[in-house]
Structure 1
Amino acid sequence: MENKKSDELKICLVGSSGGHLTHLYMLKPFWKDKKRFWVTFDKEDARSLLEGETMYPCYYPTNRSLKALIKNTKIAWKILRKEKPDLIISSGAAVAVPFFYLGKLFGAKLIYIEVFDRIDKPTMTGKMVYPIVDKFIVQWEEQKAVYPKAVNLGSIF
C-alpha cells in the first residue's frame, strides 16, 4: 500500500446497514475519489444510500451468531479474493470481523472506527478486531481508556 498513491487505493467499506453504514458514508470526503466497494446488508436503506456504488450483500442478522459468522467468512473469502482491496474500513458491526481477519491474511491495511454511542465500554466487534488493526479510531477521549492504542479523531458527525 505504501507504494500506491492515495487515489490508486482500492477500499473495501464494510458494515451493517443502518447507523454503521451511515458512519462509513459520512467518510465520503475521504473515499469519493478512490476505487471502492461496499459490503453490507441487502436492505432498503443500504440499496438507497449506495445506489450506483458497487455493493456486495452479506448475511444477516449477525449479532452473536456463529451461523452468520461462518456464512460471512465464506462471503468475505470470495469477495476479498476477487476485489483485492488495499484498505478495509469498518465501523462495525459483526460482519467486519471475517473481513478484517481474512483481509489481514491477504495483506490489506485495516482501519476500525469504534461507534460514537459507546463511550466507556468496548463493543464486541471492537474487542475482536482491536488486536489486528493497523489503526483503531475512537470518537471520544474516554474510549482511549478502553483502547489505549487508539487514535481519537473526534466525532464523525
Structure 2
Amino acid sequence: MKVCLVGSSGGHLTHLYLLKPFWQDKERFWVIFDKEDARSVLRDEKMYSCYFPTNRNIKNLIKNTLLAIKVLRKERPDVIISSGAAVAVPFFYLGKLFGVKTVYIEVFDRIDKPTLTGKLVYPVTDKFIVQWEKMKEVYPKAINLGSIF
C-alpha cells in the first residue's frame, strides 16, 4: 500500500505524524509546506513541497492543483490521508478522479464547528474521521475514533 500524507506544517503535521504506527511500515510520501518544522520532523521522508499560504489564496490553489496532478500521476498512491489544511482540497478531488481512496481527519480543536477544508473535502472523502462525538452532528457520515493524541 502506498500512502500520500498531505497537510500544512504545524498542528496539521503533528496530527499526521501521530499516525506513525499506521504509516511507518508502508511506502509513503508527504506533500507539505516547506518550513523548518516539516524539514526537521520529516528529514528522512520523501517530501513534495506545496505552495503556501493556502487560506483563500486562489493563485496557490491553482499551483497546488497543478502540483497534485503531477504528484498523483507520478506516485500513484492507494490512499491520501490529511488533517488539513487547504492543500488537501486539490489532492482529494483529483485523487478521487484517479481512483484513490481518501481519509480525512478533522482536527482535534474542532469540537462542534467544521473547518473550511473539512467542509470542502467531506463530499469526496471515503472515510471522514472526527475526534469528538458532537462533530457527528456536523458530519453525519463521519466516524468518531476519539482523540489521536
Fold match by TM threshold 0.5: yes
Q: CA deviation at 1:25?
A: 0.4
Q: CA deviation at 1:82?
A: 0.3
Query: Which of 24, 27, 39 is 2:19 aligned to?
Result: 27
Query: Which of 116, 124, 128 is 1:132 aligned to?
Result: 124
Mapped partners of 1:18, 1:67: distance in 2:
22
Structure 2 residue 13 is matched with structure 1 residue 50: no
Q: CA deviation at 1:81?
A: 0.4
Mapped partners of 1:88, 1:59: distance in 2:
18
Q: CA deviation at 1:94?
A: 0.1
Structure 2 residue 62 is matched with structure 1 residue 70: yes
Correspondence for 2:80: 88
Query: Which of 5, 15, 20 is 1:13 aligned to?
Result: 5
TM-score, reference length from structure 2: 0.99
Q: CA deviation at 1:87?
A: 0.2
Correspondence for 1:113: 105
Correspondence for 1:149: 141
Secondary structure class of the residue paired with 2:9: coil
Secondary structure class of the residue paired with 2:30: strand
CA RMSD, Structure 1 to Structure 2 (Å) = 0.4
Query: Which of 33, 36, 60 is 2:52 aligned to?
Result: 60
Mapped partners of 2:121, 2:28: distance in 1:
21
Mapped partners of 2:9, 2:31: distance in 1:
9
> Which ranges of structure 2 fall in alignment gaps of 5 or more residues?
none
- How much identity, in percent, do the aligned residues show? 79
Secondary structure class of the residue paired with 1:36: strand
Mapped partners of 2:56, 2:106: distance in 1:
18
